[in-house]
Amino acid sequence: MIPLETIVPEDEKKKMSPDFVRISAASAMALRMRSGRFTRDFDFGGINILLNYDNGCLADCGYCGLARTRPGDYEDKSFIRVEWPLVDTDEVVDRMTTYAENMTRLCISQVTHPKSHADTIEITKKLVAKTDTPISILCAPPVLNREKLQEYKDLGVDMIGVGLDGVSEAIFKQHRTDVPNGSLKWSNYWDIINLSREIFGEWKVNVHTVVGLGESDKDMMDVFFHLFDNQIFPYLFSFNPEPDSRMGDWERADIKRWRRIQLIKHLIEKYDLKPEALAYDADGNLTSLKVDEGKINEVIEHLDKGIPFMTDGCPGPDGEVGCTRPYGSYKPSEQYRDFPFQPSSNDVVQIKKELELEEIMNK
How do residues 226-236 score in pLDDT, each as one tens digit? Answer: 999 999 999 99
For residues 159-171, average pLDDT: 97
- Per-residue model confidence as pLDDT tens digits over 167-187: 999 999 999 998 887 889 999
- What is the spatial distance between Cα 271 and Cα 274, in angstroms, rounded to a whole number? 9
Q: Smallest Cα–Cα separation from 87: which of 8, 29, 9?
A: 29
The pLDDT-based confidence of 68 (bands split at 50, 70, 90) is: confident
Per-residue pLDDT for 4 more than 50? Answer: no
Q: Do 306 and 342 contact (CB within 8 A), yes or no?
A: yes
Pinpoint the alpha helices (H) of the chain: 25-30, 89-98, 116-130, 146-155, 169-176, 186-200, 217-229, 255-271, 296-305, 345-355
Average pLDDT over residues 62-80: 68
Compute, in degrees rounded to 10, the torsion defined by CA atoms 255, 261, 266, 267: 120
For each of the domains in the chain, give its residue range(s) and CATH number, in order of start. 10-260 (3.20.20.70)
Is pLDDT above 90 for 241? no
* pLDDT-based confidence at residue 36 (cuts at 50, 70, 90): confident
Question: What is the rounded average pLDDT of the residues 19-23?
Answer: 94
Predicted pLDDT of residue 13 = 47
Q: Measuring CA to CA, how many Å separate 337 from each of 72, 274, 303, 325? A: 29, 25, 15, 12
Q: What is the pLDDT of residue 7?
A: 36
Task: Give one DSSP letter per residue of 28-75, joined into a string.
Answer: HHHTTSS----SS-----EEEEEE--TT--S---TT-TT-TTSSS-GG
Give the pLDDT confidence score for residue 181 in this predicted structure: 79
Confidence band for 3, pLDDT divided at 50, 70 and 90: very low
Question: Band of the pLDDT at 290, cuts 50, 70, 90?
Answer: very high
Q: Give the list of residues 6+ apart from residue 152 with CB closer than 8 angstroms, or none.
A: 120, 121, 124, 137, 160
CB 59 within 8 A of CB 111: yes
CB 188 within 8 A of CB 143: no
Per-residue pLDDT band at 77 (split at 50, 70, 90): low
What's the pLDDT at 71?
A: 65
How much is the pLDDT for 329? Answer: 76
Stretch 265-288: mean pLDDT: 95
pLDDT at 81 over 70: no
Give the separation between CA 345 and CA 342, rounded to whole angstroms: 9
Q: What is the mean pLDDT of residues 322-339?
A: 82
pLDDT of residue 73: 62
Place 134 in a pLDDT band, splitting at 50, 70 and 90: very high
Question: Is it the case that residue 54 has pLDDT exceeding 70?
Answer: yes
Q: Is the pLDDT of residue 353 over 90?
A: yes
Which of 360, 341, 328, 159 shows the shortest CA–CA distance to 256?
360
- Taking CA atoms, 241 is separated from 56, 64, 122, in Å, by 20, 8, 33
Quote the pLDDT of residue 72. 66
